[in-house]
């Protein structure tokens, strides 16, 4: 065994410039084509950084089984050559140490990695976590028209490698390294300067709009917002990313979806906005989409108006679907993106609670309305319903919408289970959907009240950044080292607290903030109110819904 190691670097940042990346170019000789019933007979590898050779590794390996004559003819490796060679149990540990955290490179590297991973798993090391680069895939993307095939021998001759590949591990690894350096000289013309670009390049399948990739040259590798503009500089798509450059370049790598193809056809320029945190990026994306309404943001495009389920403030309150919040209602649920979603919640409450359904003025009918006759609602239309009895119903409904959601959700679960036991599966599915929609609406209401109850508050994330939130709205993100006490210095009139978000945009922003607060380890710095999470969690069914609310 011959091992020469000059330097062992570590690599964690996938956005590193290629000149700073350590590549371990390897090749294996084996007794056959499958790690399931074949073994490694030779390992060869060379390590480079910035074009400089850092070390090499070479060893024969005793496979512990007969080497087929065809393999001996191909590689020249005989039984006598591996008789005194180490077994893979001895050869693999120093080889894994040699590889370290470098990027693995090979020609048809999946073959080599399949044998390495099989041996590593069998010996208790686990699958290799190193990123890998396939010179065959790179050559297919970069120089396929220039060569008759993509075999290593052909590529080595094309790039005038001083080492000829002869089906021996070290020689083939050295030839592959020369091919890699030849290919790296070509990638700069495509704007590939960093490792993340190089790893994505083989997936670029000749997109018709790949030439526009130079629009991404000035994008940073930081969280933020990207904006695709048409030739009139109008935003046609807005998105967020944890790595702006990497995310935007993915659009140029041959996505075959029709909407993406049309988007790329209209793309004329790319703007961006760097954000300090992913939270800020998500909120900024939401605000920009609602402001510009880009036509390719179909899934997240804001509705023309918000809808609410309102409990009216009258002698015998009832439920109705409205488009505005005002002081004429006892309570609200929402906002909803469509009237259909609001109607689903309205129907869910009707299924769970005997609240009045008809709109007829109390005492104006000779007999009861249909819901009252069926016993599913208490209605004052015939003038026989006492106000005190109906007030109890209203009080229970208000409690179910606020502090005790089980009052509304449990009856739906009971009915759903009864229908399922009676094999009335379609009706049970309808109740499941209504239960899920109502649970989400109540949960949204609880979260909003928790955020608005905290007023203006400031928290610190694990990186020391300060995030200021005012009544469910993101105000500012500050870097570590900025002066504390922002709340005392902010001259801002806080919005009037409401029991539910006043619009779809406000509700969606509050949901983003809530997910971030509950999914991140944060430290509360100060608050003008009380940041308290709801004690009684809304229980949602762990069942797939047939339609979204």
Burial of residue 486 (CB within 10 Å: 0-12, 13-18, 19+) is middle
Average pLDDT value over all residues in the chain: 88
What is the average per-residue pLDDT within 30-52?
A: 95
User: Is residue 397 in some structural domain?
Assistant: yes
pLDDT recorded at residue 187: 87
Residue 536 inside a domain? The answer is no
Q: Judge whether residue 11 has pLDDT over 50.
A: no
Are 359 and 419 part of one and the same domain? yes
Instruction: Enumerate the β-bridge partners of residue 523.
Output: 460
The one-character DSSP state at 49 is E
Residue 545 lies in a domain: no
Interacting residues of 111 by C-beta distance below 8 A, sequence separation 6+: 28, 33
Residue showing tokens 């009258």 = 314
Could you tell me whether strands 319-322 and 523-527 are parallel, antiparallel, or unpaired per DSSP bridges? unpaired
Residue 537 lies in a domain: no
Among the options 158, 167, 181, 268, which is catalytic?
Answer: 167
Give the pLDDT confidence of 511-544 residue by residue, as tens digits.
999 999 989 899 998 898 888 876 667 777 754 4
Identify whether residues 45 and 123 lie together within a single domain: yes
In contact, 102 and 76? CB cutoff 8 Å: no
CB 137, CB 200: distance < 8 Å: no
Count the neighbouring beta carbons within 10 Å of the beta carbon of residue 496: 8
CA distance 390 to 273: 55
Q: Is residue 100 part of a domain?
A: yes
Alpha-carbon gap, residue 269 to 93, rounded angstroms = 50
Regarding whether 213 and 137 lie in a shared domain, the answer is: no
What's the pLDDT at 531? 83
Between CA 185 and CA 170 the distance in angstroms is: 23
Q: Is the pLDDT of residue 470 over 60?
A: yes
Write the pLDDT tens digit of every residue in 151-202.
Answer: 999 999 999 999 999 999 999 999 999 999 999 998 877 778 888 888 888 8
Residue ending a domain, among 144, 169, 196, is: 196
Residues 453 and 467 in one domain: yes
Q: What is the CATH number of the domain that holds 12?
A: 3.30.420.10
196-234 tens-digit pLDDT: 888 888 876 555 677 788 888 889 988 999 999 999 999
CA dihedral 501, 505, 507, 510 (to 10 degrees): -120
Higher model confidence: residue 470 or residue 487?
470
- Tell me the CATH number at 269: 3.40.1440.10
Helix (H, G, I), strand (E, B) or coil at 22: strand
Indicate whether 25 belongs to any domain: yes
135 pLDDT more than 90 = yes
* Residue 363 within a domain: yes
Percent of the chain with pLDDT over 70: 91
pLDDT score at 403: 86
- Look at residue 15 and tell me whether its pLDDT is greater than 70: no
pLDDT digits (tens, 9 = 90+) for 92-120: 999 999 999 999 999 999 999 999 999 99
Is residue 167 flagged as an active site residue?
yes
Q: Is the pLDDT of residue 14 over 70?
A: no
- Centre a 10 Å sphere on the Cβ of residue 260 and count the other Cβ atoms it contains: 18
Q: Domain check: are 114 and 76 in the same one?
A: yes
- pLDDT above 90 for 146: yes
Query: How far does Cα 89 stand from its chain's mean position?
Result: 39
Q: Is the dihedral of CA 152, 156, 157, 162 positive or negative?
A: negative
Residues 159 and 191 in one domain: yes
Q: What is the pLDDT of residues 301-359, one digit of tens each?
A: 889 899 999 999 999 999 999 999 887 889 999 999 999 999 999 999 999 999 999 88
The string of pLDDT tens digits covering residues 237-275 is 999 999 898 889 888 876 667 788 889 999 999 999 999
Work out how many domains the chain is built from and give that number.
Answer: 4
pLDDT at position 13, please?
46
Same domain, 189 and 101: yes
Domain stops at, among 388, 408, 442: 442
Say whether both 494 and 454 belong to one domain: yes
Question: Pick from 376, 411, 442: which residue ends a domain?
Answer: 442
Same domain, 262 and 368: no
Q: Are 347 and 491 in the same domain?
A: no
* Cis previous bond, 335, omega within 30: yes
In a domain, 501, yes or no: yes
130 shares its domain with 271: no
Determine the average pLDDT of the residues in 495-522: 88
* Tens of pLDDT, residues 437-446: 999 999 999 9
CA-closest candidate to residue 16, choices 214, 150, 198: 198
Residues 241 and 386 in one domain: no
Angle between helices 406-421 and 425-453 (to 10 degrees): 160
CB 152 within 8 A of CB 179: yes
- Domain interval for residue 232: 206-292
């Amino acid at each position: 065994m011959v091992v020469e190691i000059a330097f062992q670097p570590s690599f964690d940042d996938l956005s590193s410039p290629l000149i700073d990346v350590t590549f371990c170019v390897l090749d294996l000789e084996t007794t056959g084509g499958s790690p399931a019933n074949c073994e490694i007979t030779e390992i060869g590898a060379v390590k480079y950084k910035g074009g400089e050779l850092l070390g090499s590794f070479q060893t024969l390996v005793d496979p512990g089984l007969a080497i087929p004559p065809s393999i001996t003819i191909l590689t020249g490796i005989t039984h006598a050559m591996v008789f005194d060679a180490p077994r893979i149990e001895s050869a693999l540990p120093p080889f894994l140490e040699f590889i370290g955290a470098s990027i693995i490179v090979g020609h048809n590297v999946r073959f080599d990695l399949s044998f390495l991973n099989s041996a590593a798993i069998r010996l208790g090391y686990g699958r290799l976590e190193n990123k890998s680069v396939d010179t065959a895939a790179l050559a297919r993307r970069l120089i396929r028209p220039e060569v008759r095939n993509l075999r290593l021998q052909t590529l080595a001759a094309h790039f005038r490698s001083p080492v000829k590949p002869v089906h021996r591990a070290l020689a083939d690894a050295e030839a592959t390294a020369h091919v890699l350096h030849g290919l790296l000289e070509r990638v700069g013309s495509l704007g590939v300067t960093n490792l993340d670009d190089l790893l994505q390049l083989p997936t670029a399948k000749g997109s018709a709009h790949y030439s526009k990739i130079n629009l991404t040259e000035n994008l940073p590798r930081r969280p933020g917002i990207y904006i695709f503009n048409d030739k009139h500089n109008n935003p046609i798509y807005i998105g967020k990313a944890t790595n702006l450059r990497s995310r935007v370049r993915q659009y140029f790598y041959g996505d075959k979806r029709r909407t993406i193809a049309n988007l790329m056809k209209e793309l004329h320029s790319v703007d961006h906005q760097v954000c300090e945190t992913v939270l800020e990026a998500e909120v900024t994306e939401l605000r920009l989409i609602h402001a510009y309404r880009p036509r390719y943001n179909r899934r997240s495009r804001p509705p023309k108006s918000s809808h609410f389920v309102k409990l009216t403030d009258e002698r015998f309150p009832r439920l109705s679907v409205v488009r505005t919040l005002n002081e004429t209602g006892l309570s609200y649920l929402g906002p909803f993106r469509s009237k259909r979603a609001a109607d689903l919640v309205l129907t869910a409450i009707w299924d769970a609670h005997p609240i009045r359904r008809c709109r007829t003025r109390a005492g104006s009918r000779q007999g009861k309305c249909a819901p009252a006759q069926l016993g599913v609602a208490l209605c004052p239309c015939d003038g026989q319903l006492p106000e005190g009895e109906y007030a109890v119903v209203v009080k229970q409904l208000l409690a179910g919408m606020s502090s005790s959601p089980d009052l509304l959700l449990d009856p739906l679960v009971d009915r759903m289970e009864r229908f399922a036991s009676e094999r009335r599966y379609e009706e049970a599915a309808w109740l499941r959907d209504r239960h899920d929609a109502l649970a989400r609406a109540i949960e949204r209401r609880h979260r909003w009240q928790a955020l608005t109850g905290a007023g203006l508050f400031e928290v610190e994330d694990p990186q020391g950044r300060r995030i200021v939130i005012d009544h469910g709205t993101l105000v500012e993100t500050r870097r570590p080292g900025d002066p504390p006490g922002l709340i005392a210095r902010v001259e801002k009139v806080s919005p009037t607290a409401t029991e539910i978000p006043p619009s779809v945009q406000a509700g969606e922003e509050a949901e983003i903030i809530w997910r971030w607060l509950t999914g991140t380890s944060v430290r509360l710095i100060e608050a003008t109110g009380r940041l308290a999470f709801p004690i009684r969690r809304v229980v949602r069914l762990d069942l797939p819904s047939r339609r979204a609310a």
